[in-house]
Amino acid sequence: RERAVAAPGPSAPGAAPPSAQPPPPPFGGSADRRAQRPGPGGAGGGQGPPGGPWEGRESFGRPGADTTEPGGLRRADNTPGRVVQSPPETGRLPWSTGYAEVINAGKSRHNEDQACCEVVYVEGRRSVSGAPREPSPSQQGLCFYYWGLFDGHAGGGAAEMASRLLHRHIREQLKDLVEILQDPSPPPLCLSSTPGTPGSSDPSHLVGPQSCWPSQKEVTHESLVVGAIENAFQLMDEQLAQEQHGHQVEGGCCALVVIYLLGKVYVANAGDSRAIIVRNGEIIPMSREFTPETERQRLQLLGFLKPELLGGEFTHLEFPRRVQSKELGQRMLYRDQNMTGWAYKKIELEDLRFPLVCGEGKKARVMATIGVTRGLGDHNLKVCSSSLPIKPFLSCFPEVRVYDLTQYEHCPDDVLVLGTDGLWDVTSDCEVAATVDRVLSTYEPNDPSRYTALAQALVLGARGTPRDRGWRLPNNKLGSGDDISVFIIPLGGPGSYS
Amino acid sequence: RERAVAAPGPSAPGAAPPSAQPPPPPFGGSADRRAQRPGPGGAGGGQGPPGGPWEGRESFGRPGADTTEPGGLRRADNTPGRVVQSPPETGRLPWSTGYAEVINAGKSRHNEDQACCEVVYVEGRRSVSGAPREPSPSQQGLCFYYWGLFDGHAGGGAAEMASRLLHRHIREQLKDLVEILQDPSPPPLCLSSTPGTPGSSDPSHLVGPQSCWPSQKEVTHESLVVGAIENAFQLMDEQLAQEQHGHQVEGGCCALVVIYLLGKVYVANAGDSRAIIVRNGEIIPMSREFTPETERQRLQLLGFLKPELLGGEFTHLEFPRRVQSKELGQRMLYRDQNMTGWAYKKIELEDLRFPLVCGEGKKARVMATIGVTRGLGDHNLKVCSSSLPIKPFLSCFPEVRVYDLTQYEHCPDDVLVLGTDGLWDVTSDCEVAATVDRVLSTYEPNDPSRYTALAQALVLGARGTPRDRGWRLPNNKLGSGDDISVFIIPLGGPGSYS
């Protein structure tokens, strides 16, 4: 991602050092990219245990990359410097998923975006009922389809590691649920820990009158999958913490992940990537962005409740501009953590500290350093010229939205579009929908290469073409100088494409 | 409000004591209700200083009440016991506002709902520029229209006090803004504290390069009004804290407040009352409810960050039913503060504590005690058989929504409906919209009594009629046994009605 971590300014207390230096080279480099194409039955890269030895460190997470070509991806245009690339064989990714990417305009030597597309098989851990497991056709395991975009900052290590391992954490979390999710009855509230002893999921086990709690809550299968994804994000972040404790892995990343399981699409987002569904020309937002602006109140509340996290350097109050010492005693507009409006307050000494949240739009920052408030990694990120950690203000938890694929008859032009902020910084949802219509209408509905062509068109459209002063869009506005990655997931025919 | 505070159950750690006893009699009693009808120019009850001696304690906050009738309100039906009442002279409230109320079905001797309708004049405090103030026609002050519903619980004192004083706090907060709001230029970011010294609102005063903060934020007039309302709620709550410190005032209340100022309608809600606009048959939600369910994650986060607030009696984790000691070591579904989904965890000793948030729907509770998570007062509210205060989990801050009255040409049938939960527990938004259409179509558009008739119809429809087993609705479902209060604010002709 671009500008996620601020360059240090003389008057700001800090900015992260990594952006001022070239990022550490990604493991292996681009010539070493290895295919992660899923094999039959969906073995793919999804079989290794997460948390185990991180074998295959030198490989990349880009989907469908080929070892025979330099970079593993195929060029989609001939622009020197920033070539749009896609997997060499279109239509080979699950569901005929389209993918394209382009590197940034010089910010780093390597593309800090990572992507992953997998079919993952989940074997049940053990019988829930405790009885010896008898494999029946319906309970032999579960398969989920997985797409992930990881937009790295301050080093590419976290994005690479997450692109390789997050789906394995999800698989681990789902192992306990294999039988439960395939059983149409409501999930048991309690499981026996000892095989052979059935858990007490019976409401008659309730003891005594409980005026405010007379019954048990209904928990859906869907909410178990959501919980599994949420916990997988947390465990991935903890694994990154262990790696970063020894400084083996640098940086952090936004994570936007899609899972298709048992008829439903789960979109989990932690960061400022974005997912939208374009269905019959209509736009359905499937994520929202987490930035210092959208999460201002959460950040301020944390600073208010835990002032030690501000280290005496920051104030949790927001001001519309930097307060100057000569304004002591004057009255200035401010917002506290409970406010959405503004009011005047008398400036006191504490208000001269740098505000926890400042700036607007792409320049908004937490602690003058980072422009995104959710994601994985960043365990070593500190305020510049300070030992103050920023991680306590960042959340690794995604927001998960669910889309029931069975509730609507999708046609081949209905797609789920995933993009890193490089796409969305210069392209509106409506422009994406227009491109979906324009590109797909030029291909036959059953041509599997149409989704790759669409991904390439979106990446090209956001990058622009090199002209006298930078990369320009047709309207002469600046194109995105950031890494840009796009997945196009067709919703019209999972069965026929997979 | 009904069931906001739980009756104590043997197995629950607590419930607030007041609901088990008759509530303290409201100051003065119903025969002493005094009119709060606004005088010409909108003096009304809005002129006294908030925080000063609380004169007029014996009076009620009900709008348009008359001293000559017992109860000050006029009966709208003849049902014994729970008579629907309205102000005696319809059309006398500002904007021809309609109002009706009914007492609960025996929970308390007095109606714990309070209401207030005022025209409030705001005189500017001083010239912002510091120059001696020269009253010009455009800067002589501001007038705002004000409607408030206060749904009391655990005693009626807080609702009464808030109904009498909250608009005065709002007036105080607006005093500084009188000139600023009437000046079309953007609000100054900084005000001089010394009259005669202009504040530095000039962006050229910025010092040094500020990479992440190159410019000042734009603050709108509208957001200043929102900030004024937010701070007024907080100051009202602080005033209640002072009163409750000496136990002069008991209980707490939800507050739903509407302000009309300079062409815009501000709807501020703290609690589970609700406001909707019905416009040309379309429903526009103007508030959302704050309950243990809707605010679960905020409450859990607070319990997680400040475990001392749980006093060793509660766990911040949520479980779908009460955990039993014999389930130690088994695995049960839970939700943590960052989760929207559910997952299994092994039950440990700490999990046997009562959960901070439990129950569903109207039976959801914080600390097994209170069913609403925002409002004013409750400073003395404790967990039953415990000294653990509940107030830290309650927020006095409203959510404020703004509706621009000038953006649409309203007709006389377009109304803003405010109701306490007594209305909404048994009436959907759509049913309210249908009643709006049905009742208003039977009156001439210029008949000012039509809005009172509508308020009465809504209250009657939610109360039902007494039958063999309780108050019943036409569909034979139980009517609301709660206090019910409804305001109907016509949007079609503020100018012509006021």
pLDDT, averaged in runs of 10, over chain B (498 residues): 54 36 30 30 37 35 54 75 84 89 90 95 71 54 96 94 97 96 94 55 38 74 98 98 87 98 97 98 98 97 97 96 94 97 97 95 94 97 93 98 95 97 97 98 93 96 89 92 96 62
Give the rounded percent of residues in chain A with a pLDDT score beyond 70.
Answer: 77
Beta strands in B63-141 (DSSP E): 74-75, 85-86, 98-102, 113-122
Asked if residue A242 has pLDDT above 60, the reply is: yes
Q: What is the DSSP letter of B6?
A: P
pLDDT at residue A246, rounded to an integer: 82
Average pLDDT over residues A288-303: 97
Question: pTM for this one?
Answer: 0.85
Q: Are B25 and B54 contacting, i.e. CB atoms less than 8 angstroms apart?
A: no
- The residue with greater pLDDT, A125 or A380, is A380
Question: Pseudo-torsion of CA B450, B456, B459, B464, nearest 10°?
Answer: -120
Which residue of B lies nearest to A206 if distances are taken between CA atoms? Answer: B322
The H-assigned helical ranges of B205-250 are 221-245
- Provide the mean pLDDT of chain A: 82
Nearest to A376 by CA among A225, A257, A211: A257
pLDDT at residue A44, rounded to an integer: 37
What is the distance in angstroms between the Cα of A350 and the nearest Cα belonging to chain B? 17
Q: Are A41 and A81 contacting, i.e. CB atoms less than 8 angstroms apart?
A: no
- CB-CB neighbours of B184 under 10 Å: 6
From residue A115, alpha-carbon distances to A453, B59, B264 in Å are 17, 68, 47
CB contact under 8 A, B206 and A321: yes
What is the distance in angstroms between the Cα of A309 and the nearest Cα belonging to chain B? 12
**Chain B residues with beta carbon closer than 8 angstroms to that of A224:** 341-343
Q: Are A82 and A457 contacting, i.e. CB atoms less than 8 angstroms apart?
A: no
CA distance A170 to A121: 11
Residues of chain B with CATH 3.60.40.10: 60-124+140-184+220-290+396-490
Instruction: Categorise residue A91: left if φ over 0, alpha if ψ from -120 to 50, beta otherwise.
Output: left
Three-state SS for A17?
helix
- The residue with greater pLDDT, B373 or A37, is B373
pLDDT at residue B371, rounded to an integer: 97
Binned at pLDDT 50, 70 and 90, residue A48 comes out as: very low
Nearest to B116 by CA among B85, B158, B84, B147: B147
Structural tokens at position B478: 């139980």
Which residue of A lies nearest to B343 if distances are taken between CA atoms? Answer: A227
CA distance A301 to A304: 5
- The residue with greater pLDDT, A453 or B7, is A453
Which residue of A lies nearest to B234 if distances are taken between CA atoms? Answer: A338
Asked if residue A134 has pLDDT above 80, the reply is: no
pLDDT at residue A213, rounded to an integer: 57
**Chain A residues with beta carbon closer than 8 angstroms to that of B228:** 341, 343
**Chain B residues with beta carbon closer than 8 angstroms to that of A226:** 339-342
Nearest to B35 by CA among B156, B116, B119, B155: B116
What is the distance in angstroms between the Cα of B349 and the nearest Cα belonging to chain A? 15
pLDDT at residue B177, rounded to an integer: 96
Dump the DSSP string for A282-315: EEEE------TTTTHHHHHHHHHH-GGGGTTTEE
Q: Across the interface, which of B223, B234, B322 has its CB nearest the CB of A210?
A: B322
What is the distance in angstroms between the Cα of B330 and the nearest Cα belonging to chain A? 5
CB < 8 Å from A in window 327-356 of B: 327, 329-333, 335, 338-344, 346
CB contact under 8 A, B341 and A189: no
Query: CB of B176 within 8 Å of any CB in chain A?
Result: yes
Three-state SS for B392?
helix
Residue A48 one-letter amino acid:
G
CA distance B170 to A431: 44
CB contact under 8 A, B212 and A10: no
Average pLDDT over residues A453-466: 95
- The residue with greater pLDDT, A120 or B9, is A120
CB contact under 8 A, A191 and B8: no
Q: What is the DSSP letter of A221?
A: H
**Chain A residues with beta carbon closer than 8 angstroms to that of B322:** 206-207, 210, 213
Beta strands in A103-218 (DSSP E): 113-122, 142-153, 190-191
Q: Across the interface, which of A205, A222, A324 has its CB nearest the CB of B207?
A: A324
pLDDT at residue B136, rounded to an integer: 54
Three-state SS for B382?
strand
Query: CB of B196 within 8 Å of any CB in chain A?
Result: no
CA distance B113 to B463: 15
Q: Across the interface, which of A222, A342, A360 has its CB nearest the CB of B223?
A: A342
pLDDT at residue B480, rounded to an integer: 94
CB contact under 8 A, B207 and A358: no
Nearest to B305 by CA among A148, A306, A465, A416: A306
Which residue of A lies nearest to B266 if distances are taken between CA atoms? Answer: A341
At B179, give phi and psi (nearest 5°): -75, -40
**Buried b vs exposed e over B324-334: b needs ≥16 C-beta within 10 Å?**
beebeebbbbb
Q: Enumerate residues 6+ apart whose C-beta is below 8 A from B383.
A: B13, B14, B311, B313, B367, B368, B369, B390
Q: Are strands B399-404 and B376-377 parallel, antiparallel or unpaired?
A: unpaired
Structural tokens at position A97: 């998923």
What is the distance in angstroms between the Cα of B181 and the nearest Cα belonging to chain A? 13
Which residue of B lies nearest to A401 if distances are taken between CA atoms? Answer: B340
Nearest to A294 by CA among A357, A350, A241, A352: A357
Nearest to A5 by CA among A334, A305, A372, A341: A372
- CB-CB neighbours of A392 under 10 Å: 12
Asked if residue A191 has pLDDT above 60, the reply is: yes
Q: Across the interface, which of A10, A227, A333 has its CB nearest the CB of B343?
A: A227
Average pLDDT over residues A80-100: 86
Query: CB of A305 within 8 Å of any CB in chain B?
Result: yes
Q: Are A243 and A372 contacting, i.e. CB atoms less than 8 angstroms apart?
A: no
CB contact under 8 A, A330 and B193: yes
Instruction: Categorise residue B169: left if φ over 0, alpha if ψ from -120 to 50, beta otherwise.
Output: alpha
Three-state SS for A111?
coil
Residue reference for tokens 């295919």: A35
The H-assigned helical ranges of A346-449 are 421-424, 429-440
Q: Are A85 and A75 contacting, i.e. CB atoms less than 8 angstroms apart?
A: yes
CA distance B86 to B73: 5
CA distance A465 to B273: 55
Asked if residue A105 has pLDDT above 70, the reply is: yes
Q: Enumerate residues 6+ apart whose C-beta is below 8 A from A137.
A: none
Q: Enumerate residues 6+ apart whose C-beta is below 8 A from A3.
A: A362, A363, A371, A482
**Range of weakest confidence among A169-183, A245-259, B16-30, B84-98:** B16-30
Asked if residue A55 has pLDDT above 90, the reply is: no
From residue A276, alpha-carbon distances to A125, A416, B419 in Å are 34, 6, 37
Query: CB of A456 within 8 Å of any CB in chain B?
Result: no
- Which of A2, A3, A212 is most worth mutating to test chain B (most B CB atoms within 10 A of its CB)? A212
- Which of B206, B212, B321 is most worth mutating to test chain A (most A CB atoms within 10 A of its CB)? B212
CA distance B142 to B177: 9
Name the fold adopted by B60-124+140-184+220-290+396-490: Phosphatase 2c; domain 1 (3.60.40)
Query: CB of A192 within 8 Å of any CB in chain B?
Result: yes
Q: Are A274 and A267 contacting, i.e. CB atoms less than 8 angstroms apart?
A: no
CB contact under 8 A, B331 and A227: no
Tell me the CA end-to-end span of chain A in Å, nearest whole number: 31
